[in-house]
Each structure stands twice: as C-alpha cells, then as structure tokens.
Chains A and B, each alone.
Chain A
Amino acid sequence: MYVAVKGGEQAIAAAHRLLAHERRGDRSVPALTLAQIAEQLTLAVDRVMAEGSLYDRDLAALAVKQARGDLIEAIFLLRAYRTTLPRFGFSRPVDTAAMLVRRRISATFKDLPGGQCLGPTFDYTHRLLDPLLAGDPDLPDPAERPADETAMPRVTDLLNDEGLIEPDPAETDAPVGDLTREPLSFPADRDLRLQALARGDEGFLLALGYSTQRGYGRTHPFVGEIRLGDVEVEIDVPELGFSVAIGRITVTECQMVTQFKGSAKAPPAFTRGYGLVFGHQERKAMAMSLVDRALRAGDLGEDRVAPAQDEEFVLSHSDNVQSTGFVEHLKLPHYVDFQAELDLIRRMRAEIAARQEAAE
C-alpha cells in the first residue's frame, strides 16, 4: 500500500546535491572524462552495454560515471534511457563466422583452421598487482605478425561435418520473440530465453552456470570455442529496397559442447549451449552458454531437477534491474503497511493475553 508522504522535498534536493558532490570526489583530482572511461574501463562499459541491453559506448561510459561506478545503477540508467527512443526495426542476424576476430580459442581442439589466438586476455597472467600501473608506464606497441588468410570457421561447424554434434536449430517462420515488447510468459522458447540471458546479470548467471558444474543439473561441458571480435550490423532499409551495413559492434560468443544425446532413431551426438553477449564479456558468454544448455533440459528430454534447469526460476530472476527494483523498493517508506502489521500483532498478543487471563 502506497500513501503520498510529503515533507521530503528539501531533504531529497539536499541529498542529491550531496550525491553530486561525493560523485565528484576530491576537487583537486581531475574529473574523469567519458573518453577515459570508454577507453580504459572498457570491460565495465561492456558490461553496462550488455546488461543495459543497449550498445552505445558513450552512453554506457556516461552511465558508469553518473553511477559512480555502480554498474547495476549504470545498467538501470541505460535501460531507462532506451525507453525514450523510438524503435526503427531490427537487424539481420549478425554473422559471427565472418567476425573480425580479436581472440579465438578452443578447449576441445588444439589444431583447428585459423588456430588458437589468445588476443587481449587475462588468462595466464599471474594475478599479481602491478605497482607500475599506479602511474602511466610507457608501453611497447602490440606485437604483430602477418595474418594468414585461413578462415576461422566455427568449431561447431567443423564437428557438424561429421554429424557428431547437434546442428544449429533450423529457421522457422515463427516470429522472433521479444521480451521488451511482450512480458515473459512460460514456457518460454529458446529465442526468448537467449534474449533474457544476453541481458541477464553476470553474477547470477555465473553462479547458476557454476551450480551445473557442481552437479545441480550436470551437463559435462567443454568450451568448443570462444571468439571475440567485431561483427557487421546490417539492416534492411525499405526506402532503399536493399540492406546496408551501418557499422560494427564487438561481441563475445561461446559455444559450449555438452554431453551426448541419442535416441532409438538417432545415434548419440554432442549437445550444445550458446552464449552471445555485447562487448568483451567472456565470463558472461560462458555462463550464458552453460545456462542456455541447462535450460534446454526439457527440450532434450532430461529431468528438470536443478535450479539452472528451471526456466521460470532463472528467467524471473536473471534481470538485475528488476531484481534491484524489487529488493531496493523495501527501503522506501512503508509506514502505513507497517502500521497495519503493528496493529495486527498487538491485537494477536492482546487476544492471547486475554485467553491466558481467562484460563487462570
């Protein structure tokens, strides 16, 4: 129950003024520029874009600054902003096989066309704090080596040639579900599930993915492939009568190869989970692919026994803007609700006391 409460106006204005002051911090320290955030806190910006479900580096950098580095608050800001813009349409599906690859690794095949390219990774670093970074050390330019012309086919396509792995789900005439247009209802098809996971909270999905590894819906996963790079966004323009490329975005893709599935009719084949995320978001893409696979339990005829396999549980709680809205609303004034509870508990206690008195 919500009741208008007056009297907070001045306090709120002063609180926001204080917030702006605290956000700025020590004035003798230069203010952060958006370019600094976009260029040097790239992965924070990427996370805000992915979970804010809006690819716009400059806006995400602004959101990070405005939110004082609170990424969920920044994601909230980006989600709020997107509601102010009209929707022009949708793109053609991006082609990750044609990606300008910055990183591409496979944990299942050592030698594969195009090779294993580590790219800009934290992997194999020693996780020791580097005191030099307290300053602005001179850096050598990146190493370069002539790239060979070998294409980098998706690993899953290679396995597909032998029929050892389930193929990509074939296209249908069904419209593509969009949870920004229609509220989620259950059961949700895989298109809606992937959309929800792509914008879902990294921490939540990470924990769920981890839970499947620990035995809560085990799928015996291998990273078939992770690739990071730039893909072209192409849209159909009705007035032109053809499609045009309007620029590139960075995405991370993870192909998780999981345990076999066969039937009386079909020989066993590996199954798959898929992750695709805006920006450089490897942990998120991996977690997404684990959870995507877990959520396919029903489709694959597996018993749904674990939280990660329960689509209503997963999809209803994966959105951190929704979660934070409901959790954080608890701190708003609930004076009247609580008054009602107080009345109730006093009445209950009085009744018990009266009964005890009567019994004596």
Chain B
Amino acid sequence: MTSLSGLDADTDARRAVLGVLARATRDDLAAAWTAWPDKPDVFDVRAPETGLVMVRGRMGGGGRPFNLGETTVTRCTVRLGDGTVGTGHVLGRDRVQARLVAVFDALWQRPRTRPAVEAAVIAPVRARLAAEDDSARSETAATRVDFFTMVRGDD
C-alpha cells in the first residue's frame, strides 16, 4: 500500500506511524506520555470528538462499493508549543486515546523527538501487533485441513 500511494517517503512513513498509533491501546500511549521527559505544551486545535464513519465494502469483495454499516470514531487535532500540528483518529470512543495519538503524531514529526517516539511507542506497539498477528495466523493455520486420500486396495 505504502509504495503505491504516490506520496513522498516522509508522508508514507507518517501514514504508517498513524496506522500503528491508531492501534496502540490507551494504556500504551498513556504510559509513554507519563514517562515522557520535558513534555511540550499541547493545545487543542480540535478537541477530541466522537462521531461515525460509514464503513464501506465492495460487491463481491472487489466490485462497486456499498455502505456496510457505521463505526464509532474519535478524532482530535493538537498543536505543540512550537507549532507542530498532530492529528489522531481511532476506532471507538476513547477521547484520551485519540488525543494521545495526535500528541505522538506531532512529536513524531519533529526530527528532535522522532527517535524517542519511535523507541518509546512505535517500535514496541508495532512489535506487539506483529506478534499478535503471528499468533492469530498460527492458531488459524493449526485448524487447516490436511486432506489425504484413502486408497481402497482390493488385494
């Protein structure tokens, strides 16, 4: 997806980071924020707000889109003291989580704090998500049917 997006490398990287942040739990984010040294000032550009996004599917899986149903989404936009703007969108209704996503998005955009965001949030969450996916895949694979053919011999 990322390489096909036609976006520059930095934007691609930010998309990926936002994707990871959106799946971080509130506890992941809150712990990292609590431990964050010299916290910047954070101002709400758009305070956390919960609303609906209509999820779409495709006819037959790959055809024309149709509306499947809605999901709750919470979004937030913040500005740091130095003017960096961060944005957060998460599934569900957790305002604290959405705001923390926005804060870490902003911190990640600053070259000065990016490595710390990568180390404190992105890398561990990404590793946990990958491990969860791996174990889901292994659990599913264990239920895979290995067909074998019975040969009915006459002799």
Residues of B within 8 A of A (CB): 5, 7, 11, 15, 18-19, 22-23, 49-73, 75, 77, 87, 89-93, 133-145, 147
Closest CB in chain A relative to B107 CB, distance in Å:
16
- Determine the main DSSP class of A at the interface with B: mixed
Pick from B53, B62, B91, B145: contact of A157, CB under 8 Å: B62
B69/A88 in contact, CB under 8 A: no
Given the known inter-chain contacts A58-B92, A169-B60, A245-B18, please indicate yes or no for A102 contacting B54, CB distance below 8 A: no
Residues of A within 8 A of B (CB): 49-50, 53-56, 58-59, 82, 85-94, 96-97, 100-104, 110-111, 115-120, 142-148, 154, 156-157, 167-172, 176-180, 190-192, 194-195, 198-199, 232-233, 235, 237, 239-240, 242-249, 251, 253, 255, 272, 274, 276, 278
Given the known inter-chain contacts A86-B51, A86-B52, A100-B133, please indicate yes or no for A176 contacting B60, CB distance below 8 A: no
- Kindly count the residue-residue contacts between A and B in the assembled complex, taking CB atoms under 8 Å apart: 234
Pick from A90, A96, A253: contact of B67, CB under 8 Å: A90
A215 to B36 Cα, complex, angstroms = 66
B141/A145 in contact, CB under 8 A: yes
A245/B19 in contact, CB under 8 A: yes
Q: Which of B56, B70, B142 has the most CB of A within 10 A?
A: B70
Given the known inter-chain contacts A144-B138, A168-B63, please indicate yes or no for A243 contacting B15, CB distance below 8 A: yes
Chain A residue with Cβ nearest B60: A168
Given the known inter-chain contacts A117-B143, A276-B57, please indicate yes or no for A198 contacting B69, CB distance below 8 A: yes
Given the known inter-chain contacts A100-B136, A169-B59, A172-B64, please indicate yes or no for A85 contacting B52, CB distance below 8 A: yes
B139/A54 in contact, CB under 8 A: no
Given the known inter-chain contacts A55-B70, A94-B56, A244-B18, please indicate yes or no for A171 contacting B89, CB distance below 8 A: no
